[in-house]
């Protein structure tokens, strides 16, 4: 269904102007047609009356000069020749009847030889006798429509001698011909006016909407993060000046808001960076603390392998210290934390190294002796495993028989690491938020761990997914390409 309200402003202006022009022209044409028709009708009535009066003057003149006796039976002889001259001069057929309506003489030569010639009907005679004007006009619907005018012929003493019939071309037929001609002229004018109206309406609609188009284009390219151009208010119509001024004011306010927003974003970025730095530093501190506590608890000076264990503990602490150092360096250089340096790693060996710092008996990893080579940043991979295992430990804290299983395997050209637990699981409500920064279900922590893991995996063209059943456990899976 056509919806006028949904059309463009220029289309509505164009259409409205055309409709207005057409309605105005239709009204003017209708009034002109009616007025002209009435004028033509009045003119033809006056013309016929003048012609009839002129014919009757010639008849009266003939009666005054005739030598025949003024009687009805002598009318045929009085107008024997004059009837043709009068008909020829005035261009109308003339027939003269006696007072009883019987034909006497006519300008039509074959009149009395025609078997169809009839007398004047009695109703016409009665009407003619009763009218005050003593004149009667009758319209005849024949092949060629005509009108017959009946009136009395009087002698110089106003005595009735005969009845005069004048045959005219039908006035309505004449008027219709005139109206057909004027309708043709009006149609031609209407076509010219319509074409002109289309052109002018199009030009005017374009002119009115030109500035609106300019404003539309400016609004389309308006962006918060750059300086936007204002619309020139010179030579604008008063109606558009208010709209353009409001737009320009909005641009000024938008620039102020953009500046304030940029400042707020910078402050928020610094706050977020500070939180992330704190989180990243806390990650290696926790395993360092656990390593020191484990070393203190299990230290035996008489253990024959004490030196080997001290070296392992030292290597672990040094690696975590190196991680914190890289974090600090990255922060000071406004770079990613920590810097990514891909190297060829034996993935199971790095995972075992990351798991050793926990020393949790419920953590199972069966593929420590397997060799799977891949290009990855050692520190980043340790961070990934550490975060996932820490989350598993937190999830199984209140589980009666906690179990955490870590697995690594090759799937085509990818490496897949899974960390599964039988902890509390993740609720349906939290599944969509699990990788959002700052989201956490723990009483402590900043909720950046899984978001960080996701960012790391995306950096290495990998991904992280999970499956979880509330009350039964969770399985996190990270997959990344081995690289060349």
One domain, residues 375 and 477 = yes
Whether residues 265 and 153 fall in one domain? no
Q: Which domain holds residue 308?
A: 225-334
Pick the more confident residue, 444 or 299: 299
Q: What is the pLDDT of residue 66?
A: 84
pLDDT at residue 86 above 70? Answer: yes
Residue 429 has pLDDT above 80, yes or no: yes
Top-confidence range, 56-60, 239-243, 310-314, 340-344:
56-60
Domain check: are 239 and 325 in the same one?
A: yes
Kindly report, residue by residue over 359-402, the tens digit of the pLDDT. Answer: 677 888 878 678 899 999 888 898 899 989 988 998 888 888 89
* Predicted pLDDT of residue 443: 42
The pLDDT of residue 373: 92
Residue 79 in domain: yes
In CATH, what number is assigned to the domain containing residue 46?
3.30.450.20
Q: Which residue has the higher pLDDT, 18 or 411?
A: 411
Structural domain includes residue 218: no
What pLDDT, in 10s, does the model give residues 251-270?
A: 777 777 766 766 666 566 56
- For the chain, how many structural domains are there in total? 3
Question: Among 178, 203, 237, which residue terminates a domain?
Answer: 178
Give the pLDDT band of residue 110 (cuts 50, 70, 90).
Answer: low
Whether residue 316 is found in the same domain as residue 399: no
Domain shared by 439 and 391, yes or no? yes
pLDDT exceeds cutoff 60 at 332: no
Q: What is the pTM of this model?
A: 0.37
pLDDT band at residue 42, thresholds of 50, 70 and 90? confident
Alpha-carbon span 125 to 118, nearest angstrom: 13
Asked if residue 118 belongs to a domain, the reply is yes
**Candidate from 8-12, 128-132, 199-203, 471-475 with smallest mean pLDDT:** 8-12
* 36 and 166 in a common domain: yes
117 and 229 fall within a common domain = no
Q: What is the pLDDT of residue 478?
A: 95
pLDDT value of residue 475: 94
* Mean pLDDT for the stretch of residues 451-476: 88
> Higher-confidence residue: 329 or 474?
474
- In the structure, what pLDDT confidence band is assigned to residue 315 with cuts at 50, 70 and 90? confident
Residue with more model confidence, 17 or 143: 17
Mean pLDDT of the chain: 77
Domain limit, last residue, from 120, 143, 178: 178
Q: Is residue 15 part of a domain?
A: yes
Q: 430 and 383 in one domain? A: yes
Whether 40 is in a domain gets the answer yes
Query: Do 327 and 395 reside in the same domain of the chain?
Result: no
| Both tokens assigned to 230 | 């204002």
CATH number at residue 354: 3.30.565.10
Confidence label for 272 from pLDDT (cuts 50, 70 and 90): low
Domain membership flag for residue 204: no
Q: Is residue 210 part of a domain?
A: no
Share of the chain above pLDDT 90, in %: 9
| Lowest mean pLDDT segment, chosen from 156-165, 226-235, 416-425 | 226-235
Residue 217 domain-assigned (yes or no): no
Q: Are 9 and 157 within one domain?
A: yes
Which of 307, 334, 361 delimits the end of a domain? 334
- In this structure, the answer to whether residues 463 and 348 fall within a common structural domain is yes
Could you tell me if 133 and 27 lie in one domain?
yes
């Amino acid at each position: 269904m056509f919806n006028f309200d949904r059309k463009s402003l220029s289309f509505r202006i164009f259409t409205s102007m055309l409709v207005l022009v057409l309605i105005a022209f239709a009204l003017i044409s209708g009034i002109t047609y009616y007025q002209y028709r009435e004028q033509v009708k009045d003119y033809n009535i006056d013309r016929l009356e003048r012609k009839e009066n002129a014919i009757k003057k010639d008849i009266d003149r003939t009666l005054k000069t005739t030598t025949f006796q003024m009687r009805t039976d002598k009318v045929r002889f009085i107008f024997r020749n004059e009837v043709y001259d009068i008909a020829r001069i005035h261009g109308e057929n003339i027939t003269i009847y006696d007072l009883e309506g019987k034909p006497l003489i006519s300008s039509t030569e074959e009149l009395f030889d025609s078997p169809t010639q009839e007398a004047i009907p009695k109703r016409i005679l009665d009407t003619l006798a009763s009218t005050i004007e003593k004149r009667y006009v009758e319209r005849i619907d024949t092949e060629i429509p005509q009108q017959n005018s009946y009136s009395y012929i009087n002698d110089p003493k106003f005595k009735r001698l005969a009845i005069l019939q004048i045959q005219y071309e039908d006035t309505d037929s004449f008027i219709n011909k005139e109206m057909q001609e004027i309708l043709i002229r009006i149609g031609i004018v209407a076509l010219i006016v319509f074409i002109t109206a289309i052109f002018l309406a199009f030009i005017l609609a374009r002119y009115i909407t030109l500035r609106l188009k300019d404003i539309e284009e400016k609004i389309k390219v308006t962006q918060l993060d750059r300086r936007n151009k204002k619309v020139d208010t010179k030579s604008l119509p008063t109606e558009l000046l208010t709209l353009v001024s409001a737009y320009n004011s909005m641009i000024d306010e938008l620039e102020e808001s953009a500046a304030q927003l940029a400042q707020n974003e910078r402050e928020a970025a610094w706050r977020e960076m500070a939180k992330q730095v704190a989180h990243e530093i806390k990650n290696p501190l926790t395993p360092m603390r656990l390593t020191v506590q484990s070393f203190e608890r299990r230290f035996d000076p008489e253990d024959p392998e004490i030196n080997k264990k001290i070296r392992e503990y030292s290597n672990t602490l040094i690696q975590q210290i190196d991680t914190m150092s890289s974090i600090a360096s990255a922060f000071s250089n406004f770079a990613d934390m920590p810097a990514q340096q891909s190297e060829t790693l034996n993935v199971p060996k790095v995972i075992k190294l990351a798991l050793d710092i926990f020393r949790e008996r419920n953590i199972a990893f069966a593929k420590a002796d397997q060799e799977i080579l891949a290009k990855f940043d050692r520190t980043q991979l340790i961070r990934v495993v550490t975060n996932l295992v820490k989350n598993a430990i937190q999830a199984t804290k209140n589980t009666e028989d906690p179990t955490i299983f870590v697995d690594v395997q090759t799937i085509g050209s990818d490496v897949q690491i899974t960390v599964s637990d039988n902890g509390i699981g993740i609720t349906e409500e939290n599944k969509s938020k699990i990788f959002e920064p700052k989201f956490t279900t723990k009483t402590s922590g900043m909720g950046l761990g899984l978001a960080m893991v996701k960012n790391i995996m995306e950096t290495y063209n990998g991904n992280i997914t999970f499956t979880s059943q509330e009350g039964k456990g969770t399985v996190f899976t990270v997959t990344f390409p081995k690289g060349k």
